[in-house]
Structure formats: C-alpha cells, structure tokens
Amino acid sequence: VRLADDRRARVPFALVGVLLLLGSTTFAVTLSTQRAPAPTDEDVQTAIERAEASAGGVVRDATDAAARDAARNPVLDPAETPTGRVLNDSTAFRDALRIRIYHTVRNRLGNAGSRSGDVVASPSLPATPNASALRDAKGRVHVAGVQNGTALRVTVENVSIVARERERGVPGLTGGDGAGGPADSTGRWDAPVVGETEETITLTVETPVLALHERTERFEDRLNTGALDGSGLGRRLTAELYVITWARGYAQYGGLPIQNVLGNHHVEVATNGGIVREQRTVFGRADPDAAAGTTRLALHAGQEDLAVLTGGKKIPWAKLALKERRKIHDGGKSLPGYDRGGSTPRTDDTLTVGVNRTADAALVALTGDSTATGRGTADGTEARSLDAVLADAYEPSVRLVAETHGIEDEDEPDPDAPGTDWELVGSDADRHTSVRAATRAPDPTIPGGFHRLDAFDRVVVERHHVTRRWRRGNETRTTHASWTDRTAVGLALVGDHLPRDVPDRPVEPVHRTGGALDGPNLRAVPAAARAELVDSRGGPDAVAERVVTGGLDGRRATVAGDSPDDLGRWVRADLVRLRNRVANVSVTVPRGDVATARANPPARLADRIRERRDALLSVPPRRYDGVAEVARISARSAYLDRVIARLESRADRTRRTNERVGEALADTGAPSRDDLGEFLRSSRTRTPPERRQLVAGPGDPITVVPDGSPAVLTVVGVTRDHVPAVAPGHTYEPMTARTTNVFTVPSGEIAAGVISSVAGKEGHVSVGTAGKRLQQANGTLRHADDAELRVRRNSLRRTLADRVARAETRAAEVLEGETSLSTAARRRAVARGVARWNTTGERAIALGNGSLATAIAAEAVAEGATEGPDAPSSQVVESQLDVALSSTDFRRRVAVPVGDVKPVNRLAEQIARKLLKEGLKRGISNATELAKTEWADDALGSVPAGLPVAPVPGYWYATINVWDVKVRGQYAQFTVRARTGGPTDPDAAVAYSRDGEAVRFDTDDDGKRERLGWNDPIDFEQRTAVVIAVPPNGNGVGDVDGDADERSPGWPMPGCRARNCLDEGNASTGRFSGAEGDPRAIGVAPPQQPPGAPAIERGEQLF
Amino acid sequence: VTSTVLDAALCLLLVSAGAVTLVAVPETGPDGDEARRSPPADRADTLATTLTTATASVNYTLAPGARLASGTPVAFPHTEGPQFERTSRGTVAGLLADATLSGVRVGGSRLDHTGDDFRRGVRARTLEAVGANAQVVAVWRPTPNGPIEGRVVVGPDPPADRSVHAAVASVATDVPTVRRSAEQRVEDGRTATRSASGERERLARRVAGAVVIGLLPPAETRFALRGDYPVTALTRHRYHRLASLLGVDLRGSLAEDPAETNVTRATRLLTAGLADRLSASFHRSSGSPETIESEIAVGRVRITVRTWGAS
C-alpha cells in the first residue's frame, strides 16, 4: 500500500511520530542550553556565605598571629611620624594591635575565597598606602578584652566580599602560592561581578595579649608604688629592709662584729626579693631565674658581709648571681641569712623603760644628803627634806575657834539731858567685864580637817557705864547711865593632825600612846596647844573675853609633838620599800617609736606614777594607826612628788632631745620624724600574698612566666656575659642604690649636737665603754701578741685602774657618811666589793653599769653596816652608793679620755681581722659560727655607733639609728610569656616584651617598615627609710665602716652608662635616659650630662 | 494492513526516539557532575568550611622534643615538667597548618619531635570535627618535589570501591610568601638575558630564605634563645638539627651562651645550605623557572578533605 494511493486523506502515524521527535529534540536542546551558563542566585549566596565563614577563620588565626607580634613588640609610646600619629597616646598598645590585626587579616584573606558552582566569592580589605588610610583601617578594627583579658573580642568592620563568575578552565582554588593576592585564587578581577556585600566579622579569639600588657603595666606600677602609697614594691622593700636592719642591728648590738648594718648589697637583696614577690603577685609566678638568683644574691651578700669583716676580697657577686642562671630552676624561697631569728625584736616589740635610777635619786635627795643629790633642785621650791616632812607630821596646826550667842543685849540709853538748853559736851564710857563659866554655850563650828582638842564655855558679862557731861552757860552737870550685855561664848581649841598631802582619814590613837611604833603620838599636843593658845593668852576667861571684844587671834599655830625616837629609821625603811616598788614601775614603748624619736618614756612614767599614786601611798583604808603612820604616808607622798618632778624634768629633756633628733635628720636630708614613722608603719603593713593567675573564663589557668634580663637587678654593672642584650664592651647598670646612714661615728658631731655626751664630758668615753675596750684588747692579746697593742693596752689599764681607785675612795666616803662602820671595816668592804672582779677591765665595766656599787653595798652589809640602832637599811646603803657612783659629777670624774681608747680600738680591730682570716681558712664559714668561737667573742669589738637617746647622762634608754635608702632599677629587657601557642612558634608562647626598642611595622606593603613607636623598658625608683632602736649600753647600732653615704657605682642613673649600650637597636627610652627622668623626684642631684652632648632622645640616630 | 502496521511501527519508533532525546539531554550536558551535586560532595565542602571556621583547643607538651632529641650537642637536663606544658587554640585548619609545619621533614628525616604531642592533639581535634568516612590531609610543600615537606594525615584512606568526593582549603601560615614585587618583575623583565639556570638559583635562594625564616623565625628565636629552659634548648636543637640535615656547620654562630649567638648569621648559613639543596632539585625538574615558580607554595598549607558514603 502506497501512501499516495490512500484516498481517505489519512495522516500517517509516522508523521505524528516525526512531529513528536522534532518537538522533544527542540525541547531537549532548549533545556540543556538554558542550564549551563547562568549562575543561580543560590550559588552566589552560598559562595558569599562560605567566603564569610572562612573569612571568620582567617580573622581568628590572623588575630592570634597579630597579637603575638604586637606582644613581642608592644608600642607604649607612639612615634612622631605620620604613621606613629595614627596611634593614640593613651591607647598606643591597643591601637598598634588593631593595625597589626588589620594587616594580618588583609594579607591572609587571599586564602579565604570560596566558590559555589561557577561563582567565586573573595573577601578583601583595602590597602593602607598612607596615614589616613591607616587611620581608617584602625577604625575598622575594634578589640576588647574578655575573660579577664585572656581573650580578645575582635571586630573587623566592612569586609568586602565580592562574588564573581568564574571563567571556565581557570584552576580556581587549587592554584599555586597564592597567599599574595586575591587575584590568584578566586578568579579574575575582570570577571563579571555577580554579587557584592560587606560584612562585619566579630568573634572572640583566645589570646592573652591584653592581659599580658595590662599585667606588665600593673607590675611596673607596683614597682613604682612608694611605701606610703599603697601595696607594692616600696612597702615590700621597706619591710624587707626592716627585717635585715633589725636582725643585723641587734646582732651588732649583741656583739657580732658587724661593720655595715645596712649597705647597698642588702638593699639589692631586699629589692630583688620584693620584685620576686611582686612578680608572684602580678603574674601568678616569679621568674625562676630571678628567684634563684635572688637566693644566691642573698647568700653572696652574706659572704660579702663576712668578707668585709675579714678584710678579704670582695666577690663579684653579679657574676655569681647571674651566671649559671640556666641551671637552676627551683623557686627561690625566702632569703637565707636574713631570716628573722626568733630572738630578734621587731619594730612593734616594746622597749621597757623603768623609773629605775630616778627612784634612787629621788630617795637620796629626800633623805637629805645634799651632797648626793647633786642635780639641782629640779623638784623646785616644794621640796622638803624628809626631816621636815616628819616634823610636819608631828606638828599639827592648832587654832582657836569661837561661837557667841547674845543672852542679853541692852541698848545704850539715850542721852538724858538734865533740862532744856543743856548741851552735851562729853561722855566717858566705861566697861566692866566679868567672865563666868557657863553651862550652856553655842558650839563653835569646827573647820574642815580640824577636830576639837579642848573646849571652854563662858558667859561674858559686860557692864557698861556712861558718864555724860552737860553744860549750860557756866554751869555743868553730869549724868550717869548703865546697861549690861551678856554673851555666851563657846570656845574650842581645834587641831589638824594631817599634813596637807595626806589623804583625809581619822587618826586613832592620836592623843595617847599607841598605834604604830607605840609612840606618844600627839599625847602632849592638846596640853601644849592649850598652853600656847590659851594659857599664854591669859587663860580661857581672857580668851573668851577677847572673843566678845573682837580680839580673838584665830590664826593657826603649830605645836610640836614628840616623835618617837625610831620614827626616822622606820620611815626610811618604809621609803626604801616604796623605792623598790617605784623603781620597778615601768612603761613599754614600741621600739619603733623610740627609733623614730617620737617616744617620751619619762613623761609616760610620770603619768603612770600619778595614776598609781594612791596605790603607792598605801593609805590605810579606814584610819591612820597613830601619827607615826601619818608621818610615814606623808613621807611617801613627799617621795612620790619628788619622783614625779624628776621624771617630768627627764621628760622635758627627752622632748627637747627628740626635737633635736628631728633637726639633725633635717640637716642630713633624711626623711622627717613623721615620715620615718610612716615608713615604719608601712613596713608593718603586710602585703597579702596574693597570687593572681590568669584564668581564661571558666577554663584552665594560663601559665604566665615573667623573664627579666637581667633576671636579678644588681647594683654593679653587668656586661654581655650576663645580659646578652648588652653590646660588647659596654656595661649596663641594672640598679643603682644609695644608702645613707644618718648617725655614724664619723658623723659623731650630730650626736654631740643632740646630747651632751654619754660620758658627760667632751672628748671622753664612759668608763664602762673604756673597760670593754680594755677587755677586748686583753682578749686579742691572748691570741696574738702585738707590742704596740700591749703598750697601748697597758696605758689604758693604768688609766682605768686610777678610775676604779677614785670609785673606791668615793664609796668609802659614802659609807662613812651613811654607816657607823669603822675605817678598817669600810676599807675592807670596798676592797672586797671591788675584788669580786678580777681584772681592771671588768671592774671598769662594773663601775659603768652600777654593779660595783651593789657589790660594795653587799660587802658593807656583810661587814655589819646595817647593824645597830641608827643603822640604815641595806637598800639605803646601796642606793646611796649607787647614786654617788653614778652621779653626773662622778661620771665626769671617771670618764676616760678618748685618746686612751682609740688606738687600742684600732689595733685590736686590725689584729682581730687578721685572726678572723685565719679562722676562715680553718673552715669557719659563717658569721653565726664565727660568733660562737671564743676568740671572736674576745677579740672583736666594734666602735660605738648610733645616736644614744640620753636626755640626761645616766638616763640613756636607747640608741637609735636611721638609714635613708634610695634605689632605682631598669630591666634591659623584661618579657612575660603566656604558654599558649603551637610548637612552630619557637617560644610556643605569647611573649610580651619590653626593652625600649623602636617598633616598626610595614603598614603600606612597600617592603619597608614604618616606625610606629617605642616600647619603654620596665624601670622604677623607690625611696624609703629604716630606723632602729636598741637598748642602751653595748655599742649601739650603726655602720662603722666609715662609709656613711654608700652609693652604688652607677648612682644615680641605672641603665646604659654609655649611650646605646644595648645592641640590636635598643634605644632605651626609659625615664632614666635623657631628659625624661626627673631626678629631683627623689631628691638626688641631676645626672651629670656630658657637656656639649645633648641627650639624643629616643635613639633618633638609629633611623 | 501492511502499511498501517508499518506506519504505526514508525510512529512508535519516532516517539521512542523523542523520549530518549528528552531523557538523555540533562545527563550529557556540560558540567553535569558538578551541576547536580551528590550529597557526599556537599559533605566534603561542608567539612572544609568547618575546618576553617570551627575552633579547637589543644593541650600538649613539648617534652617529646626534649626526650627524643639526638644528634646535636644540645643538652636537655630535664625532659618533663610543667615548663613543657602548652596550650594552643585556633581554628582547626590553623591548628592543622601548625601541626603540618611542626612535623616538617627535610630530605625525609623529621626535623624534630617538639610538635609530636601537638600533632597527636590536633589529629584528635580534627577527627572530632570531621567524623567518620572522611580523611583530612594537610600538606605543606614549599616546592614541588623538594626536600622539604610537612604532612599530617587524619583519618583512614578512602576505600577503593567507594566513590570519593574532595574539597580543598588552603591556610596561610606565618611563613613569608615568595612573591616578587611588581618592581622586581619589571627588573626581571629588563634583565631577560639572564639564563634559566641563574633564574633557578635566584628562585631557590628566595624560597630557601622564606622557608628558613618560616621554620626558625629570627625575631622569635632570638627571644626564645634568651628565654628559659626548655624553649632555649629546643630552639637550639632545631637550629642544629636543620643545620645537620642541610650539611651546614653552625659552630660559632650558635652557642649555649646567648651572648655568643648570632641568629642572623645562623639564618644566613642555613638559607645558603637550603638554597643549594633547592636549586639542585630545581635543576632536576624539567620545568622552566616560571613553571616552577607557579608551583611554589611556601606561604600556605593545603588541606584536602575527602569524604565517601557510608558502606
């Protein structure tokens, strides 16, 4: 069948099939061509989202890297360049960090492109070819510390993300080293842009860079915090210096041969110890090298002390402290050799000051040996001798008192003229008085304190007559008139038994025998008083009459009663008991107050006696047991008055002495007394041992380790051997110190100006001190014979023997006056007392400290001085001897010329040093051991030092001294590391470093680094003062090596001695370089600038 | 009848052809495999993004670096202690890049073991991030076929019978890039007469400088050498180790005493030594200097993520 033959006009199926085929083909072609080239919105969006996400990752890693760089080269001080000016002065570090973050992010964004389908999205930030672009860039980045600064919330604003259609065949993301630019990896710049957006990325990056910066700043702040300003190095330094000074000062006082109580090497140890503790406080842990180095430094300081002692060679301890630093990694404990021994007093421990000798002096003055008092009448006109006091007690004052009562009182009759015209020309009055005993009479009022001894009642009758004469013309006439007045008179004879200074109590018995001592009391007094006041005036009638007629003599009179024979003895013995109680009255004053010349113990003693006066008087509670007891209490009262008066005069002198100490301090430029007190208080303020570890939010602590270079700041210069940053051939001074001892021997004029002299005589030393020297010389001679010393020693011994002989003579005189011992017995007592000591030196010492008087008194008692009716008590004998041998006059007489002592001193010291050196060779290794050896004890003496606080010779209660300490330091490099980071970083840590270098950074991608600014080295300065007070006697306390004003080699400026002594471009921009530092801030002379060499600031020459 | 049958048969044939055309079009289109992504491929990309965005923290110790150190005069008195403990935080990709660099091999020998524990930690973190059925390979290969290579592999190799999808991310490192500035390019253009071998030498020197600075950044090693043990010892060990692997003598420029250490000189010596090795490898390669340069990737680490379907 052919198709053409078909006449039914049928459309073949095949034709329909062809049409269908054509249609599907067309559709298929349309379908396939539509898909491929046109990117969908979905792709653009996906690509941009991915780019955004990976840009976030880039920001994170770049921030971490930038933070490491910023920490390694922190900008503290923006440069005066267009680039530097982009940084804000106050936030230079953060600003530099922001710029670094911007640049690192920008450089790394090249890898952050991502694609989806044919769309490549690439994030980017604009370049910063100039300062204004840099400023914009800085504005795009914000940083804030979160989680205690251990993390950084960083915001990068307006990261532009551009999506482009990718050309076919471009390798895309798998390209070569494309970190350099976005073009390499994310498509061609000329490709059509299909999407564009700007994103702000904010995320938190865990990098402790801000915490490191902030803590390091705090560390530097605390190093510069003065002792009075708060918690910080100043306070630690002061506390540490107090420990050292008091330990060494008391050791010196205790006889250890210490020449330099507080020197720069101690300041060095204390400062470094304080810095180590500050590091622990601020960073949570200390530089291990610093801790170990400080320990070694302390050890070497101890050895140094010993070396000075022996005249040996000083050890260059900087080398020892800094060398081998890498080998020791244990933490330094407290400083060995400077631990406070258990027995060393602290500043708030008290010094006990008693009335002591004042009690004797007052007693001797009271009991009337005028030759023994010798100190004038400090107690003024009130002073009565004991005899007067006793007599007063037995001499009550008596007087008459009267009371009258008119019984009859007639008026005088009016003139009665005989008649008119009579003129009264005159009148004569006449009175006739008669007195009768009366039964009733008014009782006179008895004045307070008096009581009635006798009474008389009388009626006085007065008959008055008046005769008047009248006249009239030549005629005269007389008239008479009379009247009578009758008055009852009560008369009383009253007496007052109690002296004024005795508390009011009844006395019983009083007018009869009995009571204490069973004496007559005032038995005879009423009679005597009557005889005196009544009988001698005509008897009661006459007196009564006188009362009425207005002529009563009501004045007091005294009548002497008979005192018992042994009253004086009894009262004296009682006074001796009281003296013992008074002598033991003491007050405690903090040693620190004494040391700062702000204490006045005598004034407080006087107050104490006043407070306890009643108790000391021992007044019987209800009544006096007879007049003898009144006399006894009266004597006690008089004694206490004298003690108080003497104490007040001591207090007055102490006050003046304290003021003069203040003036002396002002003269030497040391801090004032009040400032010393403040420093002292700050030394007691404990700095809490806080350790602040860095904690990242709720997570683990971040270990932060400080690392100073040099680890230990020495007061001697260091070289490249110790601090690698120091350029070859240069010296770097990490620390400079100046320690001034205010009261030293060479500056003895100060002491002389403040007090007379302990010996009481210019150019003389006290006999006790001289005795000590003699002993030391003897000890030295026992171990080493030296001809010259022997000669000098003999001369001193002769002088002292003479002084002891004078004391013997004086003691014999006292015994003669006080006791009834025979001449032979007196001589024996004195000789035996002196013989208790074997050598002249010991005797002189005994004379100096008063034990000689005690011994002689004891021997005198043994000889029978206290036996017999009139014999004094042993206490009296002792007091008399003591007062006599310690009176100012006598002390002057036995003082020893300084010329006798000094050569002995000098020679003994030389020989002792020689001996010590040998001892050291024998293996004695430390000072404590040294002190234990007998020859050191014998042989070594030290020169007296310090300021004896002795307002009156003989009342020396403390020796004080003051050290004025100034210290400055600077680290060549100070690095703080937080142990976070990958092992590709050689430190595997974020290292924040301060070294004074310039910070440079390529901000405009031109291959050259622009200067951003500088980081400042860590530096500090401190000033403080230490005071010490030791008990009297001994050698006092102070530096006796003759170097009162000790300055470290580099003083006053630490750091480079020459300009730029640090290599690698360290320009050292610390405050101590150039004109920045204000040396007057701590009161030192400005540094010597080499003339004609203007300080090159900030290392400009480097660029 | 015959014609009708033929007609119908022809019609059916044509209709079938049309249907086949419609069905076949999408499958044979260009970029078909990418245009219609399968789920596993999506996963590889997602994981790559995760690596560059997710953060992780690794606690590790530097102790293996001290314990396994040998072959250099550096002494390690202690090989354990808190001073070895470290923490590192960052994106997983960043940690991987660090791990890759820390495990760098020179001529097939590991430079040092300081990063051993770190790499263990990073592998663990990465595995946590990507999960099963995935492999992450991070590679730092500054020059093609060169002596220096760092590589960290996390996860098992993909099974041979499974279809594998891959995504690539690259992470910038602290190693400076070797990019010629525009001026240099211009200058190079002017001195076109320079021989190809001289060009290779210069390229080798540039790459060597970047690599040495990347492995031992002088600014930071100077710090570390003045720091405390163990970082000082580890850094010195790294110097000596690199020197011995490159056949360089560092005596006189690196001593125990930091004062006698000259980092700049040590860097110069190491650069020279590495440059020799690199230029030798460049000479062996057949490519032109330009080709070689295009394949140099000093400043970044390539991270490849492979994923496959679950079995």
pLDDT tens for chain B, residues 1 to 311: 677 888 888 888 888 888 887 777 654 444 444 444 445 557 888 888 888 888 888 999 999 988 888 777 888 888 888 888 888 888 899 899 999 999 999 988 888 899 999 999 999 999 998 888 899 999 998 888 788 899 999 999 988 888 888 888 888 887 777 655 444 555 555 555 557 777 788 888 888 999 998 899 888 888 888 777 888 889 989 999 999 888 888 887 887 776 677 888 899 999 999 998 888 888 877 777 777 777 778 888 999 999 987 76
Buried b vs exposed e over B201-222: b needs ≥16 C-beta within 10 Å? bbbbbbbbbbbbbbbbbeebbb
Phi and psi dihedrals of A1023, rounded to 5?
A: -135, 140
Q: Any idea which residue has 């050689």 for tokens?
A: A986
Of A27, A54, A177, the CB nearest to B53: A54
Say yes or no for a CB contact (<8 Å) between B258 and A977: no
User: Average pLDDT of chain A?
Assistant: 76
Q: Any idea which residue has 């006056």 for tokens?
A: A817
Peptide bond into A509 cis (omega under 30): yes
Residue with the larger pLDDT of the pair A611 and B226: A611
Say yes or no for a CB contact (<8 Å) between A982 and B30: no
Q: How is residue B170 written in tokens?
A: 């690259």
Say yes or no for a CB contact (<8 Å) between B259 and A65: no
pLDDT digits (tens, 9 = 90+) for A230-245: 888 888 888 888 877 8
- Binning pLDDT at 50, 70 and 90, where does residue A328 land? very low
Q: Say if residues A647 and A512 touch (Cβ distance below 8 Å).
A: no
The pLDDT of residue A44 is 83
Q: How far is A979 from chain B (nearest CA, A)?
A: 5
- Binning pLDDT at 50, 70 and 90, where does residue A143 land? very high
Task: Locate the chain A residue with the closest alpha carbon to B291.
Answer: A176
The pLDDT of residue A997 is 82
Say yes or no for a CB contact (<8 Å) between B231 and A987: yes
Q: Say if residues A859 and A819 touch (Cβ distance below 8 Å).
A: no
Cα separation, A446 vs A451, whole angstroms: 7
Specify the range with the lowest mean pLDDT, choosing from A462-466, A891-895, B114-118.
A891-895
How far from each other are the two terminal CA atoms of chain A, in whole angstroms?
Answer: 107
Say yes or no for a CB contact (<8 Å) between B13 and A61: no
Alpha helices (H) in A743-818, listed in sequence order: 748-754, 767-783, 787-818
Three-state DSSP class for A727?
coil
The pLDDT of residue B185 is 54
Say yes or no for a CB contact (<8 Å) between B179 and A177: yes
Cα separation, A704 vs A1078, whole angstroms: 33
Which chain A residues are closer than 8 Å to B220 by Cβ? 72, 985-987, 991
* For testing contact with chain A, the best of B87, B125, B185 (most A CBs within 10 A): B87
Q: Cα dist. B175→A498, A891, B142 in Å?
A: 108, 88, 10
Task: Locate the chain B residue with the closest alpha carbon to A703.
Answer: B86
Peptide bond into B176 cis (omega under 30): no
Which chain A residues are closer than 8 Å to B144 by Cβ? none
Q: How far is A3 from chain B (nearest CA, A)?
A: 8
Radius of gyration of chain B (CA): 27
Of A14, A179, A289, the CB nearest to B300: A179
Say yes or no for a CB contact (<8 Å) between B29 and A35: yes
pLDDT digits (tens, 9 = 90+) for A964-975: 899 999 998 899
Query: How many Cα atoms occupy the beta-carbon half-sphere of A106 within 13 Å?
Result: 21
Q: How is residue A143 written in tokens?
A: 């940083």
Which chain A residues are closer than 8 Å to B78 by Cβ? 329
pLDDT digits (tens, 9 = 90+) for A916-950: 555 545 444 444 444 444 444 443 444 456 676 65
Strand A1055-1056 and strand B85-91: the pairing is unpaired
The pLDDT of residue A5 is 64
How far from each other are the two terminal CA atoms of chain B, in whole angstroms?
Answer: 57
Of B11, B29, B98, the CB nearest to A14: B11
Q: How far is B16 from chain A (nearest CA, A)?
A: 8
pLDDT digits (tens, 9 = 90+) for A542-596: 888 888 877 777 777 777 777 788 888 888 888 888 888 888 888 888 877 877 7
The pLDDT of residue A712 is 85
The pLDDT of residue A956 is 60
* For testing contact with chain A, the best of B14, B101, B237 (most A CBs within 10 A): B14
Q: How many CB atoms lie within 10 A of CB B63?
A: 22
Which chain A residues are closer than 8 Å to B60 by Cβ? 983
The pLDDT of residue A757 is 44
Element holding A1028 (H helix, E strand) = strand A1019-1030
The pLDDT of residue B179 is 57
Say yes or no for a CB contact (<8 Å) between A177 and B299: yes
The pTM of the full predicted model, rounded to 2 decimals, is 0.70
Cβ contacts of residue A379 below 8 Å, gap of 6+?
A362, A365, A641, A642, A645, A646
Percent of chain A residues past pLDDT 90, beyond the cut: 9
Which chain B residues are closer than 8 Å to A989 by Cβ? 86, 231
Q: Say if residues B57 and B88 touch (Cβ distance below 8 Å).
A: yes
Alpha helices (H) in A819-850, listed in sequence order: 823-834, 840-849
Residue with the larger pLDDT of the pair A369 and B64: B64
Confirm or reject contact between B2 and chain A (CB < 8 A). yes
Residue range A1061-1083: average pLDDT? Answer: 48
Which chain A residues are closer than 8 Å to B35 by Cβ? 35-36, 117
Specify the range with the lowest mean pLDDT, choosing from A67-71, A776-780, A882-886, A1017-1021.
A776-780
Task: Locate the chain A residue with the closest alpha carbon to B94.
Answer: A61
pLDDT digits (tens, 9 = 90+) for A163-195: 888 654 444 443 344 333 333 444 455 677 888
Of A3, A173, A987, the CB nearest to B223: A987
* For testing contact with chain A, the best of B13, B46, B53 (most A CBs within 10 A): B53
Of B2, B77, B219, the CB nearest to A1: B2
Cα separation, A678 vs A1023, whole angstroms: 13
The pLDDT of residue A339 is 41
Of A176, A180, A207, the CB nearest to B295: A176
The pLDDT of residue B41 is 53
The pLDDT of residue A1072 is 62
Task: Locate the chain A residue with the closest alpha carbon to B261.
Answer: A724
The pLDDT of residue B122 is 94
The pLDDT of residue B1 is 65
Say yes or no for a CB contact (<8 Å) between B168 and A174: yes
Confirm or reject contact between B3 and chain A (CB < 8 A). yes
Q: Which residues pair with A165 in a beta bridge?
A: A119
The pLDDT of residue A747 is 34
Which chain B residues are closer than 8 Å to A174 by Cβ? 168
Which chain A residues are closer than 8 Å to B115 by Cβ? 982-984
DSSP string, A633-658: HHHHHHHHHHHHHHHHHHHHHHHHHH
Which chain B residues are closer than 8 Å to A293 by Cβ? none
Say yes or no for a CB contact (<8 Å) between B87 and A979: yes
* For testing contact with chain A, the best of B42, B59, B83, B86 (most A CBs within 10 A): B86
Which chain A residues are closer than 8 Å to B114 by Cβ? 983, 988
Which residues numbered 122-161 in B keep a CB inside 8 Å of some CB on A? none
Say yes or no for a CB contact (<8 Å) between B52 and A985: no
Specify the range with the lowest mean pLDDT, choosing from A285-289, A376-380, A783-787, B282-286.
A376-380
Of A12, A176, A983, the CB nearest to B62: A983
Say yes or no for a CB contact (<8 Å) between B14 and A973: no
Nearest to A360 by CA among A167, A596, A643, A125: A643
pLDDT at A402 over 80: yes
Confirm or reject contact between B121 and chain A (CB < 8 A). no
Say yes or no for a CB contact (<8 Å) between B18 and A23: yes
Count how many pairs of residues, chain A against chain B, have C-beta atoms within 8 Å: 245
Task: Locate the chain A residue with the closest alpha carbon to B3.
Answer: A1
DSSP string, A938-977: HH-----BSEEE-SSTT---EEEEEEEEEEEEE-SEEEEE
The pLDDT of residue A576 is 83
